[in-house]
Amino acid sequence: MNVIAVIAKKDLLIEWRTRTLMARVVPFALLVLVMFAVALDSEPLLLRAAAGLVWLALLFSTMLVVQRSFDVETQDGVLDTLLACANPSRVFFGKATALFVQLFALGVVLVVGAVVLYGVAISGDRVVLLVTVVVSATGGLAVVGTLYGAVVANLIGRDSLLPLLVLPVLAPLLIAASRSTEAAFGSNTIDVANGWAWVGVLVVYAVVFGSAGALAFAPLTESDA
Amino acid sequence: MKDIGFILLSWVITVGSIATLAAVTLRRARELSARVPDDKKPWL
Amino acid sequence: MHDMTGTKTTRAIGIIALLVTAWVVISAFFITPADQVQGDSVRIMYAHVPTAWIAYLAFITTAIASGFSLARRHRTLGFDRVAGASAEVGVLFMALTLITGSLWGRLTWGTFWQWDPRLTTTLFLFVTYVGYLAVRRIDGDPRQRARRSSVIALLAVLEIPLVHFSVVLWRSLHQEASVLNPDGDVRLDGLMLFTLFSGVVAFTLIFAWLVIHRQRLMALADLDRVVGLDAAISARRAEGIGSAAT
């Protein structure tokens, strides 16, 4: 069986058994949406900001999921064992795939949250754009998250280091995903055609960092012993 | 000169912080080089 | 008296850097005229523009040194030290660029900050290297640290064009009127240009001086650890021999 699929399945199985995502990350992400609403305290403002807030909530939640994904590996030197058996770039794509599945599920929850809590209305023909945006943006999030998760794996203080390193790198993704989601939410600041242009940026972003991650995973996880 | 305060502040911050970094660098160099024998320093 | 991190060459660089800096300061404050559009605030530019250039030079140096460091990772830590030293100096210079730039902006535009593509990219670049230095500060195996930090520095090379491109696209689609051309309209006469050029020379020399010294400082710190370790081992060994003899 394909190594990438095996590793992805292993990570998802661990998640399914421990239910960290369900029990902690999903409630956290929804809580962030609620807190934004409380802080902004204005329905028109909230509707205008909805797209950006959804992606900010997902970015913050990504930090938690990535930490978890690597904490599982670094206990008992599991990662070394994995790397001894498989090509590092396949391990990278395996972990990124598992992360992608989790973040996509989280993204769907957040979009539904925006519809329910912020009163966002998604008309029929914009659904295709919205789904494409969520898929391509969570793809980018998954590869960058996996890459920087490996950069800080095992470091003391990695929980505060990860956001400092990742958030600047995710800036283009945040801009592109927010603008194209705005278009999909039917905001009058940006039209659907421009929304699709931003999807192009998201795809390029995911491909660039996916290739970089596949290349960088070997030196990052190399051990000196 | 108009706005001399802002202009002076810019220069004081620029020159001051670079000078501070240089001073700190030299002081640490003095501390550390006393502990390392000269024949191990490749630049000498 | 032990020899420190300086040599004849670095002393020469230091002295020339001091002289050129002195000339730039004198010229910036007393000799060059006020700009027709910017007025006296142009005098900040003689510090602001060179620090920005040198910060970019520093980050390019870090990226190149990181590439070599990664390629020769089983042999030497020399490139890694150059990359680290250069990033330290680059972060300082970029901070100075941002500070002097916002002071200048307050005088010229009336605001400390504008979400202009170049400013925004610079800010993200700055934060990226602050993170890079945070990773370097963590104690641990120096070889592993070298690999991690090289990867971060090389990823920054991918990140920055993407950030810049997306910010440009974002601002161009933004429907609010753009406030001002960020450069203002500078008409530089010969002396002003020469002062600016001298500033670049001065700060390049300062950069070289700082990187050489700090890179040697890192080498000293590594050597000190080895020397300390050797001493500890031989002390332990002497102890062992002593106890065996009695």
pLDDT 10s per residue in chain A (225 long)? 588 888 899 889 988 888 878 888 999 999 999 999 999 998 889 998 999 999 999 999 999 999 888 888 777 667 777 777 788 899 999 999 999 999 999 999 999 999 999 989 888 778 999 999 999 999 999 999 999 999 998 888 888 999 999 999 999 999 999 999 999 998 777 888 888 999 999 999 999 999 999 999 988 888 765
Cite the DSSP H helix spans in A185-225: 192-221
pTM: 0.89
| Per-residue confidence (pLDDT) for residue C108, from 0 to 100 | 87
Q: For residue C213, which of C41, C5, C3 has the smallest C-alpha distance? A: C5
Q: Collapsing DSSP states into helix, strand and coil, what is residue C73?
A: coil
For testing contact with chain A, the best of C73, C79, C124, C152 (most A CBs within 10 A):
C152
Q: How do the domains of chain A map onto residue ranges?
A: 2-224
Nearest by CB to residue C107, choosing from B6, B11, B17, is B6
Inter-chain touch A208–C163, beta carbons under 8 Å: no
Return contacts of A135-138, CB within 8 angstroms, 24+ apart. Answer: A135/A104, A136/A199, A136/A202, A136/A203, A136/A206, A137/A55, A137/A107, A137/A173, A137/A176, A137/A177, A137/A202, A138/A58, A138/A100, A138/A103, A138/A104, A138/A107
pLDDT digits (tens, 9 = 90+) for B8-30: 999 999 999 999 999 999 999 99
pLDDT digits (tens, 9 = 90+) for C193-210: 999 999 999 999 999 999
Q: Report residue C179's pLDDT band, with 50, 70 and 90 as the boundaries.
A: very low
Inter-chain touch A190–C173, beta carbons under 8 Å: yes
Q: For residue C152, which of C80, C246, C103 has the smallest C-alpha distance? A: C80
A207: CB partners within 8 A, 6+ apart: none
| Per-residue confidence (pLDDT) for residue B16, from 0 to 100 | 97
Chain B, window 21-40: residues with a beta carbon less than 8 angstroms from a chain C beta carbon = 21-22, 25-26, 28-30, 32-38, 40
Contact flag for B and A (3+ C-beta pairs < 8 Å) = no
Q: For residue C218, which of C9, C65, C22, C18 has the smallest C-alpha distance? A: C65
Nearest by CB to residue B33, choosing from C3, C21, C209, is C3
**Which of C4-13, C66-75, C79-88, C219-228 is least confident?**
C219-228
ipTM of this complex: 0.93
**Residue by residue, what is the 3-state secondary structure of A79-143?**
HHHHHHHCCHHHHHHHHHHHHHHHHHHHHHHHHHHHHHHHCCCCCHHHHHHHHHHHHHHHHHHHH
Q: Report residue C54's pLDDT band, with 50, 70 and 90 as the boundaries.
A: very high
Is B13 within 8 Å of chain C by CB?
Answer: yes
Nearest by CB to residue C163, choosing from A161, A171, A219, is A171
Q: For residue A217, which of A106, A70, A61 has the smallest C-alpha distance? A: A70
Both tokens of A110, joined, read: 């957040």
3-state helix, strand, coil in chain C (%, to 5): 80, 0, 20
Under 8 Å between Cβ of C131 and C151: no
For testing contact with chain B, the best of C13, C223, C229 (most B CBs within 10 A):
C223
Query: What is the torsion angle, in degrees rounded to the nearest 10, for the CA atoms of residue B23, residue B24, residue B26 and residue B29?
Result: 180
Q: Is C83 left (phi over 0), alpha (psi -120 to 50) or beta?
A: alpha
pLDDT digits (tens, 9 = 90+) for C102-151: 999 999 888 999 888 888 899 999 999 999 999 999 888 888 899 999 99
